[in-house]
């Protein structure tokens, strides 16, 4: 039976993940959205669904015929990828994804999607290789780092996940202290949040709070570490201190996040214990 504690923990990790990704600006491929368009049969609509599947299969066949003549035709590769995803044929999506990733080495979106697809298929070695390939060329790519961290945690390799992020933070700090232009490719606060998320997922709350305090000092105008610390304090039963941080986070947050943060402040409140924070 799932306990309230387990439910609360899943909620905490979900919030931390959303918080980590908040304010990270990146362009997403239109193809990515097709992943969430899962094929879910509905009563009375099986005929329409079959027609849609038949149409998608014909489209996929058409793209495959084009690729037999022009194997690097990116329009056909993208079309085949989207058709396969809409059909729910994830194994069939791997080949066009791999080729698109090879043809667009400076654009990590395809490689990230490839890593996610391989993880979904439980090809953990292939997924890790895809993530590491991205990180090798762009050590500060937070989406790839987050994906690899999640994969390592899935495999109960928490210390490897910690080492990955700590090493990246060390590299980022060194480049920043040297005044290297490459330092601009790292988001120190997001890296600190990712490290704190790992500690939180392992109930190592004191270490998480230490990281969040460092992140708050790194950027006093960023609401995310303030919110993260508040969530951890709430989990420790320090509701009064947590509410103070939630209020600070709401003040710091951009307008589009304020209502969501207000909801977080009101949800899953725990009885307060003595705060010695």
pLDDT tens-digit readout, 185-236: 889 999 999 999 999 999 999 999 999 999 999 899 999 999 999 999 999 9
Predicted local distance difference test score (pLDDT) of residue 224: 93
DSSP characters for 41-57? --TT-HHHHHHHHHHHH
- pLDDT at residue 46 in the model: 60
pLDDT band at 18 (very low <50, low <70, confident <90, very high): very low
Task: Report yes or no: 261 and 253 within 8 Å, Cβ to Cβ.
Answer: yes
The pLDDT of residue 45 is 55
Q: Which residues contact 3 (CB under 8 A, 6 or more apart)?
A: none
Q: Where are the alpha helices (DSSP H) in the chain?
A: 4-21, 30-35, 46-69, 74-87, 90-103, 108-120, 124-137, 142-154, 158-177, 188-201, 205-218, 223-235, 239-252, 255-266
Q: What pLDDT, on the 0 to 100 scale, is given for residue 159?
A: 96
Q: What is the mean pLDDT of the chain?
A: 83
Distance from first CA to last CA of the chain, Å, rounded?
34
Q: Where is mean pLDDT largest: 53-57, 79-83, 86-90, 208-212?
A: 208-212
Looking at per-residue pLDDT, the higher value among 52 and 19 belongs to 52
Answer yes or no: are the C-beta atoms of 22 and 224 closer than 8 Å: yes
Provide the pLDDT for residue 273.
Answer: 47
CA atoms within 13 A on the CB side of 173: 12
Of 43-57, 89-103, 142-156, 226-240, minimum mean pLDDT range:
43-57
pLDDT of residue 49: 62
The residue to which tokens 């951009």 are assigned: 254
**Sign of the Cα pseudo-torsion (255, 264, 14, 188, in order):** positive
pLDDT at 11: 47
Compute the distance between CA of residue 196 and CA of residue 141 in angstroms, rounded to an integer.
Answer: 17
pLDDT bracket for residue 183 (50, 70, 90): confident
- The per-residue pLDDT for 270 is 57
Q: What is the mean pLDDT of residues 232-249?
A: 95
Please say if the pLDDT value at position 35 is more than 60. Answer: no
pTM: 0.77
Structure tokens at 169: 């933070």
Q: Which of 71, 94, 93 is nearest to 82 (CA)?
A: 93
Chain segment 110-132, per-residue pLDDT in tens = 999 899 899 989 999 999 999 99
**How confident is the model over 166-184, as a mean pLDDT?**
87
The whole-number pLDDT of residue 211 equals 97
Q: Which of 26-40, 93-107, 192-206, 222-236 has the lowest mean pLDDT?
A: 26-40
Indicate the domain borders of the chain.
207-270
Residue 256's Cβ-count burial label (10 Å; 0-12, 13-18, 19+) is exposed
Asked if the model's pLDDT at residue 2 lies above 90, the reply is no
What pLDDT, on the 0 to 100 scale, is given for residue 88? Answer: 86
pLDDT beyond 80 at 13: no
């Amino acid at each position: 039976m799932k306990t309230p504690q387990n439910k609360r923990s899943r909620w905490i990790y979900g919030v931390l993940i959303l918080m980590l990704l908040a304010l990270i600006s990146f362009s997403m491929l239109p193809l990515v959205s097709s992943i969430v368009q899962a094929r879910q049969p509905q009563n009375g609509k099986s005929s329409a669904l079959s027609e849609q599947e038949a149409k998608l299969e014909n489209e996929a066949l058409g793209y495959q015929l084009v690729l037999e003549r022009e194997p690097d035709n990116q329009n056909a590769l993208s079309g085949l990828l989207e058709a396969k995803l809409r059909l729910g044929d994830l194994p069939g999506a791997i080949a066009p994804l791999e080729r698109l990733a090879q043809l667009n080495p400076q654009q990590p979106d395809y490689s990230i999607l490839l890593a996610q697809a391989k993880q979904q298929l439980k090809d953990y070695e292939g997924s890790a290789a895809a993530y590491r390939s991205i990180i090798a060329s762009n050590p500060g790519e937070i989406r790839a780092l987050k994906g690899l961290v999640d994969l390592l945690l899935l495999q109960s390799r928490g210390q490897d996940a910690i080492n990955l992020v700590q090493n990246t933070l060390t590299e980022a700090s060194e480049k920043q202290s040297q005044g290297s232009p490459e330092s601009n490719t790292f988001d120190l606060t997001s890296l600190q949040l990712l490290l704190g998320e790992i500690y939180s997922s392992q109930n190592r709350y004191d270490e998480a709070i230490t990281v969040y305090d460092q992140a708050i000092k790194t950027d006093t105008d960023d609401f995310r570490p303030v919110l993260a610390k508040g969530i951890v304090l709430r989990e420790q039963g320090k509701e009064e201190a947590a509410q103070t941080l939630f209020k600070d986070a709401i003040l710091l947050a951009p307008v589009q996040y304020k209502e969501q943060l207000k909801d977080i402040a009101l949800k899953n409140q725990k009885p307060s214990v003595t705060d010695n924070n």
